[in-house]
Amino acid sequence: MYKEIDHTADVAYEISAQSFFEILKDIIKIFKENYAPKINCKSYKHYKYKLKENEDAIFDIVNDWIASIELGYFPVEIYADYTVKFCPFDGITGNGFKALTYHNLKIEKIENMLKIKVVFDI
């Protein structure tokens, strides 16, 4: 579950999830909402990430996704083993992100939930 939160110059979200995997799934949903891509998944690529479940992994993966979009491939789905399906797209009708920042990027465990704030440079 995620919600957009106020941030002075950039776009920020607060994500609450039961697992690290669910955080990444929510970030893909955030990407789809903001970019509004016209996906063309006749051909696709898979990439399996090897990672530690921490803030650095979030930073690296999300910025890799932004770079992939710049190269014409959109992250459309993530699987439990951290394999991501990338599909080409025919265009974007929304606004994208330049990068995920380290600003306030901290995973907190509150009760049995993980919470993180992500701030995107636009």
One-letter amino acid of 55 = E
- Report yes or no: 79 and 46 within 8 Å, Cβ to Cβ: no
**CATH code where residue 9 lies:** 3.55.10.10
Q: How many domains does the chain have?
A: 1
In angstroms, the Cα distances linking 42 to 14, 16, 87, 88 are: 33, 33, 8, 8
Domain that holds residue 19: 2-121
pLDDT tens by residue, the chain, 122 residues: 887 877 666 899 999 999 999 999 999 999 999 999 999 999 999 999 999 999 999 999 999 999 999 999 999 999 999 999 999 999 999 989 999 999 889 999 999 999 999 999 99
The pTM of this model reads: 0.92
Nearest residue to 19 (alpha-carbon basis) of 114, 121, 122: 114
